[in-house]
Structure 1
Amino acid sequence: MATLADLQAFPQFKNVPDEQLNWLLDRVEVADFPKGRVINEAGKPVDSLRLLLDGQINIHGQASEDMITYLAPAVLGLLPYSRMSEARFPIVAETDVRTLALHRDHLREMTRQCYELTETFVQQMTDRVRTFAHQVQQEEKMASLGRLSAGLAHELNNPVAAIVRNAEALKTHMRATPERFKVIMRLALTDEQTDAVDEWLFEKLDNRPKTRSLLERSSLEDDLTDWLDDHSISPNGSDAADLASTLADFNFSEDDLEYILEQVGAANLTGVLEWVSNNLVTEKLVVDIGEASNRMATLVASIKSYTHMDRGAGKELINLAEGIQSTLTLLGHKVRARNVTVTVDIPTDLPELCGWPGELNQVWTNLIDNALDAMPEKGGSLTINSVLDRNQFVLTTFTDNGSGIPDAIQKKIFEPFFTTKGVGKGSGLGLDIVQGVIKHHNGSIKVQSKPGETTFTVCLPVEG
């Protein structure tokens, strides 16, 4: 049995009259739990206000990490005027614990008869909501950061691997240059012939035609191999197909080979083609390294734009297209993994908005990420449009072909902690954060949804 002294040990009850504490004692039930026992599972009803007399109770957040810790004496569970109906996260006894439970059926009577006691519990609810919201918001931010970090790591991995691979190949390739130089030195070429080959080769490199289809390239490679075989060309004793493959990479044709033959003669043809091939391989490796480096630079620029790390924290003019494109770049891995077609239609003459770019990027991240999660595994589509409305507002729509939002819950999706995702997959704060940011910008957001088509419309004033 619990005693009045047990309740007086709670600092929250220091201003509560003893008769009200005795009222509480007459209605509570003792409930003990061993270490490790789940007191309330996530998604299960919460029917009691609980006073922790001894031990420690934790509320586990996503990934089973401790989000809130209660040490005796502490108040948790259902509180007066709270809309809590079920546990959002597991409530676990971290040690052997002893508690007192007051069923929700007594709360209405308490609010009528015990003013100071009710006031104490309401203050506890206010403090708890503030602490809980802060904790979950931090988890939501960390989860978003984790998703972006995972995508960024994947995006960076490919160009980094390409640079390492091509740098090693270039190193090996350059070691063979002295032998090829000896071949060139033995050629009987005039200055005019050398200049003609040089000009022709570098003009080809500077004016590379468009990429051919696989079928066209295969046909070209076969034609080049036949031509080389007909002229008994086998550079360095290798198969003519290797040289033909290199030439095909740069869209060389039989006419190009005929031109070289005409310029240098049959006796010098093999040596010249070896030199041409050597330059082409070097060019390809350098170009590949350059493209991979540019890809990394683009990603870094997107990160810089997304975080606005080089700018102040105040309001500033925002390029809407830049923020959305940076977000799409950082979520590119998820877009490709789901085979989603993204269409962006933002007019180039759209006026800049006045606001906080970092906050708006959170909006784009949540809306795009939610849309990707709602789409089918393959064949999803996302369309992003922006238009100027009455020269005062910018309307931006995000339309996906996902499963849609049932009519019954459309009004709830912006409520804090409401989520349609499974336990551990969403905190229910994403759209709450979105709505808060948009209100901070004096804007509005609405949703229209039916199976196969969901559209979020964000309205932001141009002047902020």
Structure 2
Amino acid sequence: MNDVKLEVTLEELKAIPVLSEVPDDQLQWFLDAGEVVTFEEGERVFEFGDAVKYTTVLLEGRIRICATQGGKYREIAVIREQGITGYLPFSRAKKTPGFGECVRRVRLLTVPADKIKEATKIHYELTEALVHTMTSRVRDFTSLQQQNEKMFALGKLSAGLAHELNNPAAAISRGASSLDKQIKNLPAMFKAIVSLNMKPEKVDKVNELLVSRANQTDRPVLSMMDKADHEDALADWLLDHDIKKLEFAENLVDFDFKPADLDHMNACTPSPQLEIVLAWVNNYLLATKMIDDVKESAQRISQLVTSVKNFTHMDRDTDKQLMDIHAGIRNTLTMLNYKLKKGNVKLVEDFDLTLPQVRAMAGELNQVWTNVIDNAIDAMEPNGGGTLEIRTRKDRQFVQVIIKDNGPGIPEELQSQIFDPFFTTKEMGKGTGLGLDVVSRIIRQHNGTVKVHSVPGDTEFEICFPLNDD
């Protein structure tokens, strides 16, 4: 600090709204107990993690408080003229949450924390004013941190959703390009096909075989080795019949064609024009495959959009409604599916599907599932993977949801703190410590309980609330 003794008048303190009703003698005591210090623009007023030793009144200037979030410095608060910060009566703050930077020449009145503790015993109105400042600070900071927690959760879900949407979108793009290629082949193929002198009954037989294979719903699922063997058999057949386009074999195998089918088509086709028929068949099958891929990908995107809509419940009001608890859990898992795959996490579902609908706030419960499941996935990250188990069951008139992971566990000395506001074991920028506090508050809103049981390799969150909470 650059200590510069400057005069502060009683009137200057009384002009501060929160101190305006404090008796003059108490303000004079406050003034006498402190000292004035100044900082120039750009100077650090305090550093991250500094001990909170003073109550500070900003008489002139402006200070911004910054902290590291997501690996970058971000402004989390601004202290303006007449603001009071630092140590406040009954506050449990021990260290500063970020660094304070002077953005306009600052003049401060600083009073040692020991003096403020003394004031709580002898100056009621001064203490009352400072406590009011503290409650306002807690309210503002809580609101900020809750917003940060929502943004962290939104960021995680958005990243996962982007990856989940990217795969089917890329498949649709590939399918469209392939279909374009197949369509461009049609004029030349048409010219070759119409030059064939095939009897109508032979054409019908080839068409019947082609349509039956294209529409077959019970195609066998082949292992890589079995598929390679089938391709080799078809490739050998093609070579034996002087057909050099062996790429036909791979596509024909996908639709369960066998050498006997090629014999059948060969018997229906004027020799040596089988290659023209096979090119037409191959083009049709490729187009069919691409259309199926596009339909499946479009359906996947539709499912994701539906999951997002159901997850956010934008079209629902905030009253408790009858709902299927499993729908919310599955929507949450859909939103976090990319993170499950990225974290090499195996999912085990043990759902009691006979559970009746529960009366609850669906959007609120989705926050519960998101926070607990996301924490479980993060917990298994150091192991490079693991197993996430989710169980549901009925316990008399209650529904019980158990979310279990086999990560390293929560140290016993920390288990009593994990539901406290702002407590987190994650590094700076990865969490605000409000996730489990939010879980606890929401479950209390539903007249339920949330408990944790944890040992190394086995952490279990047990969430229990009434089936019909009126």
TM-score, normalised via structure 2 length:
0.93
- Does 1:223 find its partner at 2:233? yes
Give runs of aligned pairs for residues 122-271 of structure 1, distance below 5 A: 122-208=131-217, 209-234=219-244, 240-264=245-269, 266-271=271-276
User: Secondary structure of 1:64's match?
Assistant: strand
Decide whether aligned partners of structure 1 residues 210 and 348 sit closer, same or farther in structure 2, where only a CA change above 3 A counts. farther
Structure 2 distance, partners of 1:17, 1:407, is 49
Residue pair 1:2, 1:25 contacting (<8 A) in 2 also: no
Query: What's the counterpart of residue 49 of structure 1?
Result: 55
Give runs of aligned pairs for residues 296-311 of structure 1, distance below 5 A: 296-311=301-316
What is the aligned counterpart of 1:411 among 416, 419, 432?
416
- Does 1:339 find its partner at 2:344? yes
Letter in 2 for 1:119: E
Deviations 1:73-115 (A, max 9, x none): 1101111011111223433333332212222212221011111
Q: Alignment length, in residue pairs?
A: 458
Deviations 1:235-294 (A, max 9, x none): xxxxx2211122123232222222322344644422221221111111111111111111
Query: What's the counterpart of residue 34 of structure 1?
Result: 40
Letter in 2 for 1:66: E
What is the aligned counterpart of 1:431 among 428, 432, 436?
436
Q: Which moved more, 1:429-438 or 1:341-350?
A: 341-350
Structure 2 distance, partners of 1:150, 1:290, is 24
In structure 1, list runs of 5 or more residues that go unmatched.
235-239
State the Cα distance separating 1:35 from its structure 2 match: 3.0
Structure 1 distance, partners of 2:88, 2:444, is 29
Query: What's the counterpart of residue 352 of structure 1?
Result: 357
Residue pair 1:53, 1:100 contacting (<8 A) in 2 also: yes
Give runs of aligned pairs for residues 3-18 of structure 1, distance below 5 A: 3=8, 4-18=10-24
Structure 1 distance, partners of 2:39, 2:261, is 85
Q: Which moved more, 1:328-337 or 1:30-39?
A: 30-39
The Cα RMSD (Å) is: 1.7
What is the aligned counterpart of 1:275 among 275, 280, 301?
280
Structure 2 distance, partners of 1:333, 1:118, is 52
Structure 1 distance, partners of 2:75, 2:318, is 31
Structure 1 distance, partners of 2:456, 2:44, is 38
Structure 1 distance, partners of 2:39, 2:52, is 16
Q: Which moved more, 1:107-116 or 1:59-68?
A: 59-68
Query: What's the counterpart of residue 71 of structure 1?
Result: 80
Structure 2 distance, partners of 1:355, 1:42, is 42
Query: What's the counterpart of residue 323 of structure 2?
Result: 318
Residue pair 1:318, 1:352 contacting (<8 A) in 2 also: yes
Residue pair 2:447, 2:465 contacting (<8 A) in 1 also: yes
Letter in 1 for 2:418: I
Deviations 1:207-241 (A, max 9, x none): 2513322222222222211110001124xxxxx22
Residue pair 1:42, 1:423 contacting (<8 A) in 2 also: no
Structure 1 distance, partners of 2:240, 2:198, is 23
Residue pair 1:79, 1:122 contacting (<8 A) in 2 also: yes
Decide whether aligned partners of structure 1 residues 266 and 311 sit closer, same or farther in structure 2, where only a CA change above 3 A counts. farther
Structure 2 distance, partners of 1:184, 1:360, is 61
User: Secondary structure of 1:26's match?
Assistant: helix
Identity %: 43
State the Cα distance separating 1:311 from its structure 2 match: 2.4
In structure 2, list runs of 5 or more residues that go unmatched.
1-5
Structure 1 distance, partners of 2:343, 2:171, is 24
Decide whether aligned partners of structure 1 residues 409 and 43 sit closer, same or farther in structure 2, where only a CA change above 3 A counts. farther
State the Cα distance separating 1:430 from its structure 2 match: 0.8
Letter in 2 for 1:376: E
User: Secondary structure of 1:96's match?
Assistant: strand
Query: What's the counterpart of residue 362 of structure 1?
Result: 367
User: Secondary structure of 1:381's match?
Assistant: strand
Residue pair 1:188, 1:268 contacting (<8 A) in 2 also: no
Q: Which moved more, 1:267-276 or 1:158-167?
A: 267-276
Query: What's the counterpart of residue 456 of structure 1?
Result: 461
Structure 2 distance, partners of 1:206, 1:324, is 35
Residue pair 1:184, 1:271 contacting (<8 A) in 2 also: yes
TM-score, normalised via structure 1 length:
0.94
Q: Which runs of 4+ in 1 moved over 6 A?
A: none
Residue pair 2:388, 2:405 contacting (<8 A) in 1 also: yes
Residue pair 1:40, 1:46 contacting (<8 A) in 2 also: no
